[in-house]
Structure 1
């Protein structure tokens, strides 16, 4: 599924509202101006690690890029609701998406966790590029088999299995086979 929201447009809007230039944001995120412009203006699929860096520099939660409305009430997601997703690449430099995120708390303001359902598609690019960011992640496999590269270790998880790890350690989540997988992920990233 394609994202109905434009992450690049939201990043640009928040950046502008905080009077931060593209050059300043790129420098503070340790990324090239070319890459930031591609994310903002061409909806380049950024890695989760890069989006976390951008969120941190802008002083917002990662989920802000998915939010349409902020409320103080509980958020309930019903089975029949449209599953609006946003695509990310877990690769730092790969523009081929293989992670489709569905936010489970997009309208909850003030949250400290980011719960997602994630469809993991077999990646076009087989090059392994690990990334890291502050925080923690909990993954629970709902369908398929998932491979987690974590530091120098690899973990294979099947349906019903889970892993909890510190995100500061370089990692990569991908489908272990040439078939899609689905996970429940809860990401915590301090602001």
Structure 2
């Protein structure tokens, strides 16, 4: 199993395509300092910036997650899940969530399914993100707060939400306890 980190994969793809850090920053609208930090440290941005990077490099978001090719059907056992993505809240802030890809290895996929652990948020300053596509979320455990545009929704275990992810949004645990969700993201080709 290839455990190459997302920063290393981005660097490798940039080298293959002859794209400099400055060009990638210009194409994505992201700061070059942020991209350099992403390349050098074991961190993952939220899905919005990661999607911008994928699009700018001409690859699927899954390219940063895939480590082996599987045949249909793809089965991911709960015992085989590994915390592979830890998304930052903001610069120099603790990790906000842990993503476990449930589609890793299926190279012809059109959706990105995840099991996500949402960690309690310290401080209420949240940054909304937006990107092309749609998201479908089911709360498994805990209480989840979804900021969607100017509205805030609280979801409990068993609740779901489906939305257009072009609208600025944020998904996080509510209160002092962690929460867990299944999320399926769709990005148009």
Q: 105, 110, 125: which is aligned to 2:103?
A: 105
Helix, strand or coil: the match of 1:24? helix
Partner of 2:165: 167
Partner of 1:119: 117
Map 1:17-32 to 2 at 5 A. Answer: 17-32=16-31
Give, in whole Å, the separation in 2 of the partners of 1:133 and 1:112. Answer: 16
Deviating above 3 A after TM superposition, structure 1's stretches of 4 or more consecutive aligned residues are 91-95
Give, in whole Å, the separation in 2 of the partners of 1:93 and 1:190. Answer: 29
Helix, strand or coil: the match of 1:75? coil
Distance 1:105 1:25, change over 3 A: same
Partner of 2:8: 9
**For the Cα contact (< 8 Å) 1:71–1:108, is it kept in 2?**
yes
What TM-score do you get using the length of structure 2 for normalisation? 0.92
Aligned residues: 187
Give, in whole Å, the separation in 2 of the partners of 1:48 and 1:84. Answer: 16
What is the aligned-residue RMSD (CA, Å)?
1.6
**Greater shift in the superposed pair: 40-49 or 162-171:** 40-49
Q: Structure 1 stretches of 5 or more lacking a match?
A: none
Partner of 1:78: 77
Partner of 1:154: 152
Question: How big is the shift at 1:125?
Answer: 4.1
Give, in whole Å, the separation in 1 of the partners of 2:164 and 2:144. Answer: 18
**For the Cα contact (< 8 Å) 2:48–2:129, is it kept in 1?**
yes
**For the Cα contact (< 8 Å) 1:44–1:95, is it kept in 2?**
no
Q: Structure 2 stretches of 5 or more lacking a match?
A: none
Give, in whole Å, the separation in 1 of the partners of 2:6 and 2:83. Answer: 13
Helix, strand or coil: the match of 2:68? coil
Helix, strand or coil: the match of 2:78? coil
